[in-house]
Structure 1
Amino acid sequence: MPHPVRQRILITGASSGLGEGMARRFAAMGRDLALAARRTDRLDALRQELLTAHPGIRVETAGMDVDDPDSVATVVPELVARLGGLDRFVVNAGIGKGASVGTGKAEANRAVLHTNVLGAHAQCEAAMEVFRAQGAGHLVLISSVASVRGMRETRTAYGASKAAVNSLAEGIRCDVWGSGIAVTTILPGYIATDINVGRRGPFTVDLDTGVDALTAAVEREPVRAYVPAWPWRPIAGLLRVLPLSVVRRLT
């Protein structure tokens, strides 16, 4: 059964990386966009670019800090009203800094956990309030292959934060099972973005390749997808069963 066209899409963390890339792909499909991020100058430049390239679409932008739940709770409904409704919400905003636990970088690790877990939660609360009211919608959470197993060094807090995102997504999916609300968890592998400098590993793909795979996966609306599917689906399967002594060498 084909999925409905999700015409009105809100993307957070849209000023760079995967969020910016998704905005370009969905704009090319003729979708109407609401773009949120902290760096409003970059959002405004992206809006102009998208409207010039695709004059038939609508693009709304707003500054939003996912670390501030009041900001999220205020900005999301405002953006939805300006867009004229909401069909898909992409929980994408996040950070990727961090270091081995116990090496004096506790503040950086705490920031990763705070933004990626509590920030994702704030976004889900705002998105699901809209979707529950209308009885339909597509919630997309951007996780990571780093969430599959505990990983070392710069990926320890990051992987833990994304494992929490996986659980949050599954809990919401369980809660709205059988309703008109779909929930998708996307687990990208190593895609070359600014956020993952220091966390890239083997099989890193360029941003365009990664965003193409990501957008295609979102459009399919699966429960869960690894992107790009090759090699990350089989690698994720291996990561689950390999001894930790092997996992630490691979990651």
Structure 2
Amino acid sequence: MASREAKGETVLVTGASGFIGSTLVRGLLDRGYTVRAGVLNPDDEAETDHLLALAAGAGGGHLSIFRCDLLDGAALTDAARGCSGVFHLASPCTVDPVKDHLNQLMVPAVEGTRNVLRAAKEAGGVRRVVVTSSISAIVPSPGWPAGEVRDERCWTDIDYCEKNGVWYPASKTLAEKAAWKFAEENGLDVVVVNPGTVLGPMIPPTINASMAMIRQPPRRLPKDTQPGLVRAEVGSKKLIALGLQVSPVEKIIRDAVESLKSRGFIS
């Protein structure tokens, strides 16, 4: 959706306040889209102030803030009504070890994804849904042949996750599988992206897990941020075909470091 000019189109972005979400919102606004930014708590300035600042400097786009509870299907349908596209980014990332991982991670991730897709279907007019999954839906996959590129055929091993208490990869895997199943059964155009390490200029006031790696004491960053994976010659060719412009990794890291410096996270 973001690869061309908007021509007045409206899109919904769930999880809009996060690192990827706010960067996406900026790109959409700059292209003239009307963006409905879904956040968990619209009254929380930490979730909304940086988005409103983006709207103030936007190049022709318009922004409105929506409460986005992934388990409130009716509210999601209302938010999606009138939209030509939906970007589903919202998903819980952490779990309190004292509390129930099922209700904290699994239900919001899996049922939330179904609810967003159902809302897109019921709203009418949505041409495509872009779901942000994760590399965590691909690894850990201990049974995958060594030396072979992990592609769409490779899924995280749920049994391995359950035995080792690794709940985030399990939640992302089951959520992505639910997305593909819903798309197939309901004729919905769905695209899934699986980000790994997420670095670059920061927009939100809080630091994400990937950027936190740069704050660690070692002065040399690891050459391979995803150890054990085999590099594909053109790993992003499908995304490039959709209009994604790929930045050199050196620029990404440099921009990330400068952003952390400007925010006072590193000296």
For 1:17-36, list aligned pairs within 5 A: 17-36=19-38
- Runs of 4+ off more than 6 Å: 197-201, 227-230
The residue that corresponds to 1:94 in the other structure is 91
Distance 1:80 1:109, change over 3 A: closer
Task: Indicate yes or no: 2:109 matched with 1:112.
Answer: no
User: How far is the alpha carbon of 1:188 from its aligned partner?
Assistant: 0.7
Aligned length: 198
Aligned to 1:33, what secondary structure does the other structure show?
A: strand
CA distance in 2, matches of 1:228, 1:162: 26
Aligned to 2:191, what secondary structure does the other structure show?
A: strand
The residue that corresponds to 1:142 in the other structure is 132
Aligned to 1:188, what secondary structure does the other structure show?
A: coil
CA distance in 1, matches of 2:55, 2:23: 15
Cα pair 1:92 1:142 within 8 Å, conserved: yes
User: How far is the alpha carbon of 1:39 from its aligned partner?
Assistant: 3.2
Which structure has the greater CA radius of gyration? 2
User: How far is the alpha carbon of 1:221 from its aligned partner?
Assistant: 8.0
State percent identity of aligned pairs.
Answer: 16
CA distance in 2, matches of 1:139, 1:58: 20
Greater shift, 121-130 or 189-198, is seen at 189-198
Deviations 1:86-121 (A, max 9, x none): 11111111111148xxxx656245411122112222
Unaligned runs of 5+ in 2: 139-155, 200-205, 214-221, 227-235, 250-267
Among residues 148, 163, 166, which one is paired with 1:156 in the alignment?
166
CA distance in 1, matches of 2:60, 2:109: 34
Q: TM-score, normalization: structure 1? A: 0.64
The residue that corresponds to 2:177 in the other structure is 167
Among residues 119, 127, 131, which one is paired with 1:126 in the alignment?
119
The residue that corresponds to 2:66 in the other structure is 62
CA distance in 1, matches of 2:180, 2:34: 27
The residue that corresponds to 2:259 in the other structure is none
Deviations 1:12-69 (A, max 9, x none): 1111221111111211222210001113224542343123212522211122222x32
Deviations 1:69-90 (A, max 9, x none): 2xx422541x345xxx211111
Unaligned runs of 5+ in 1: 205-213, 231-251
Judging by fraction of residues, say which structure has more helix.
1
Q: TM-score, normalization: structure 2? A: 0.60
Distance 1:155 1:188, change over 3 A: farther
